[in-house]
């Protein structure tokens, strides 16, 4: 059992190392984009399914409450949390519309729509990003595997090249934490951080 646990941790580290080697420049761009959007008074809308829905909520909470430093709350919304809205849209229209309809209602030009999909092919995330792009929002995607259709849609896509959903999710939340920390530093401590 101990060997298996060690194997899982080593695999997680390998996937994260490969991710940062492939995406470091993109990660810097994401931090710059989010910092600029928040400075301009815009908001971040984050969404995904299952574990990615939980990650959306987790990241939104870090922005709204605080991450590491004490600072004012930042406007971020997880579009995965209002069960009445989600089930009404799913029932009256289609589950594939649950994020697009919320973006249509809440999104404004300059906001950031951040879709998370470990497969890169979640239709509701895809439709949300497509509509956001048409509305003039900045589109950001966290994907896995080969990036799927979603990686092709988003203005900026960070992909975890792994077929393991668990390793993809672990990498997504590590990247999410790095983003939260660096956005905080750029907004409230060292705005000239390169």
Q: Which pLDDT score, from 0 to 100, does residue 85 have?
A: 98
Q: Which pLDDT score, from 0 to 100, does residue 47 have?
A: 98
Do 77 and 46 contact (CB within 8 A), yes or no?
A: yes
User: Which pLDDT tens digits describe the chain residue by residue (194 residues)?
Assistant: 999 999 999 999 999 999 999 999 999 999 999 999 999 999 999 999 999 999 999 999 999 999 999 999 999 999 999 999 999 999 999 999 999 999 999 999 999 999 999 999 999 999 999 999 999 999 999 999 999 999 999 999 999 999 999 999 999 999 999 999 999 999 998 766 66
Q: Which pLDDT score, from 0 to 100, does residue 190 have?
A: 75
Domains of the chain, CATH where assigned: 2-188 (3.40.50.10490)
Q: Which pLDDT score, from 0 to 100, does residue 153 have?
A: 95
Q: What global pTM score does this model have?
A: 0.95
């Amino acid at each position: 059992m101990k060997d298996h646990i060690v194997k899982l941790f080593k695999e997680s580290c390998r996937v994260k190392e490969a991710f940062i080697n492939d995406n470091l420049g993109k990660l810097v761009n994401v931090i710059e984009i989010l910092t600029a959007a928040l400075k301009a008074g815009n908001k971040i809308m984050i969404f995904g399914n299952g574990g990615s829905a939980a990650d959306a909520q987790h990241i939104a909470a870090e922005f709204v409450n605080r991450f590491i430093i004490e600072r004012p709350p930042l406007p971020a919304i997880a579009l995965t949390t209002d069960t009445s809205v989600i089930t009404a849209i799913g029932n009256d229209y289609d589950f594939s519309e649950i994020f697009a309809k919320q973006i249509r209602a809440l999104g404004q030009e300059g906001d950031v729509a951040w879709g998370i999909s470990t497969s890169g092919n979640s239709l509701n995330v895809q439709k949300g990003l497509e509509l956001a792009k048409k509305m003039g929002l900045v589109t950001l995607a966290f994907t896995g595997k080969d990036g799927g259709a979603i990686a092709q849609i988003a203005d900026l896509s960070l992909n975890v090249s792994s077929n393991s959903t668990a390793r993809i999710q672990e990498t997504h939340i590590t990247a999410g934490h790095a983003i939260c920390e660096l956005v905080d530093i750029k907004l409230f401590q060292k705005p000239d951080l390169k």
